């Protein structure tokens, strides 16, 4: 459930008309709902605790939507953060996530990033390879610390979904095999700079079936048991993120309650504290991208293009993953639907949001909203074609605030510097 609804015929967010935001901030613009972010977090947390999972760490995957105001909304409810770069660690800290609720994951952390995270006192480094284990141990030792680490395992399960976001098969770059995990865990135990506290996995994203999770979690359980059988202590099990969301006409994902019941089944009696790294399930349906129709361009042979002022640099998911986003006119006309190709102004054919989509009739100047765009939307935006970075707005209870302003063209140009030999 989300808080984007039609109110007196006009698409609104928590009582704020999207047209009012477009008027004030311009388009394209991302709009996020505080109530929806909060709801998604609490529904997941309550589902887990209702299953008897005590004090789960819900480490919000910052990459889904790294805006400080979004992270802060969740941090105030007790969320932790799953981070994959120094930038994300800094964002989580700046938004008020306590370091002891921050997990640092990722296959390629640099020495500087590791040192920064250790000095900041993050809860756990999720190690993805032997060289990373050695590097982390050396850095921790040089800082006079013992880094709490988890070994990220690649459970080798097929999670479905788009190939570009599957992470849990043995031929993906993520994590180590179960055999390697056993060896590295023992090695970490004997490394002066490290204290292994657990094991972690993350099998992919937009997963719409519980079976791959259950298969992976069953294997993780066996790993915990066999590590313990060797006398190694395991306190924590990080089960990653990946739970899918309903993108309108897409397969219906399991509910947080079904997911929680499965987690409880898979981990019953294991006596570990559980961590989760949800991103999309919290942020996707809490945000929309509002754009304006620039032109309706009609080919003589019949194809109709709705050309928007938003483009693939603002929302890359359709171009990159063939992702489906529901598109709703903000003030729909009550008339027979028309078939459109909805495109942006960027100079490549990939800048097509959808082809042959039946929508209410559109005219130049109309506003449309891309639904379910709160996760991996603004987060993956760029300035391609020297378009200004898309602004972001957060709504709460009938009020809204710009939480990332649109830069000016002067800002954009001022970031670059001329080499000395080009000076006049």
Which listed residue (347, 413, 418, 420) is catalytic? 347
DSSP labels, 111-143: HHHHHHHHHHT-SEEEE-SHHHHHHHHHHHHHT
Q: Can you give the binding site for ligand LLP, defined by CB under 6 A?
A: 61, 64, 82, 105, 165, 167, 202, 205-206, 240-242, 277-281, 317, 321, 376
Least distance to ligand LLP, CB of residue 350, Å: 15
Assign 218 to helix, strand or coil: helix
Q: Which is nearer to ligand LLP, 174 or 340 (CB)?
A: 174
> Using an 8 Å Cβ cutoff, are 258 and 209 in contact?
no
Q: Which is nearer to ligand LLP, 56 or 329 (CB)?
A: 56
> Using an 8 Å Cβ cutoff, are 370 and 324 in contact?
no
Least distance to ligand LLP, CB of residue 299, Å: 31
Least distance to ligand LLP, CB of residue 105, Å: 4
Least distance to ligand LLP, CB of residue 195, Å: 21
Strand partners, 358: 339
Please give the Cα distance from 220 to 228 (Å, whole number): 12
Contacts of 208 (CB under 8 A, 6+ apart): 160, 161, 244, 250, 251, 252, 253, 254
Pairing of strands 273-276, 236-238: parallel
- H-type helices in 143-285, by residue range? 178-189, 210-229, 256-267, 280-283
Residue whose C-alpha is closest to residue 165's, from 333, 11, 375:
375
Please give the Cα distance from 62 to 79 (Å, whole number): 11
Q: Which is nearer to ligand LLP, 212 or 240 (CB)?
A: 240
Least distance to ligand LLP, CB of residue 108, Å: 12
Q: Which is nearer to ligand LLP, 165 or 211 (CB)?
A: 165
Least distance to ligand LLP, CB of residue 317, Å: 5
347 included as an active-site residue? yes
Residue whose C-alpha is closest to residue 237's, from 263, 210, 207:
263
Burial code of 384-422, b = ≥16 C-beta within 10 A, e = fewer? eeebbbbbbbbbbeeebeebbebeeeeeeeeeeeeeeee
> Catalytic amino acids?
347
């Amino acid at each position: 459930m989300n808080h984007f609804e039609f109110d007196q015929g006009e698409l609104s967010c928590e009582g704020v008309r999207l047209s009012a935001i477009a008027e004030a901030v311009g388009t394209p613009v991302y709009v996020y709902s505080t109530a929806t972010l909060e709801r998604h977090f609490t529904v997941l947390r309550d589902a887990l605790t209702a299953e008897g999972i005590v004090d789960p760490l819900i480490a919000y995957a910052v990459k889904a939507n790294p805006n400080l105001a979004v992270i802060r909304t969740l941090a105030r409810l007790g969320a932790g953060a799953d981070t994959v770069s120094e930038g994300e660690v800094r964002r989580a800290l700046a938004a008020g996530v306590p370091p002891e609720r921050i997990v640092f994951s990722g296959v390629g952390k640099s020495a500087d990033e590791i040192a920064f995270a250790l000095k900041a006192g993050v809860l756990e480094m999720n190690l993805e390879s032997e060289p990373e284990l050695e590097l982390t141990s050396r850095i921790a030792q040089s800082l006079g610390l013992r880094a709490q680490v988890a070994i990220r395992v690649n459970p080798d399960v097929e999670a479905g979904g788009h190939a570009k976001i599957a992470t849990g098969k043995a031929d993906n770059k993520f994590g180590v095999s179960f055999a390697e995990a056993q060896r590295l865990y023992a090695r970490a135990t004997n490394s002066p700079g490290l204290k292994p506290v657990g094991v972690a996995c993350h099998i992919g994203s937009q997963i719409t079936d519980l079976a791959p999770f259950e298969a992976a979690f069953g294997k993780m359980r066996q790993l915990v048991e066999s590590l313990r059988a060797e006398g190694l202590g395991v306190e924590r099990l990080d089960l990653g993120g990946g739970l899918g969301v309903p993108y309108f006409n897409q397969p219906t994902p399991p509910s947080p309650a079904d997911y929680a019941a499965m987690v409880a089944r898979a981990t019953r009696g294991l006596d570990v504290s559980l961590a989760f790294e949800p991103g999309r399930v919290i942020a996707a349906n809490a945000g929309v991208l509002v754009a304006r129709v620039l032109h309706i361009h009609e080919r003589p042979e019949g194809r109709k293009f709705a050309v928007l002022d938003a483009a693939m640099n603002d929302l890359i998911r359709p171009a990159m993953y063939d992702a489906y986003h529901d598109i709703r006119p903000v003030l729909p006309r009550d008339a027979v639907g028309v078939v459109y190709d909805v495109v942006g102004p960027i100079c490549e054919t990939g800048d097509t949001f959808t082809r042959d989509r039946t929508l209410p009739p559109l005219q130049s100047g109309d506003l449309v909203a891309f639904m379910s765009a709160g996760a991996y939307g603004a987060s993956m935006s760029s300035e391609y074609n020297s378009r200004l970075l898309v602004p972001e707005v957060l709504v709460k209870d009938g009020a809204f605030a710009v939480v990332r302003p649109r830069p000016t063209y002067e800002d954009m140009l001022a970031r670059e510097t001329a080499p000395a030999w080009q000076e006049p």
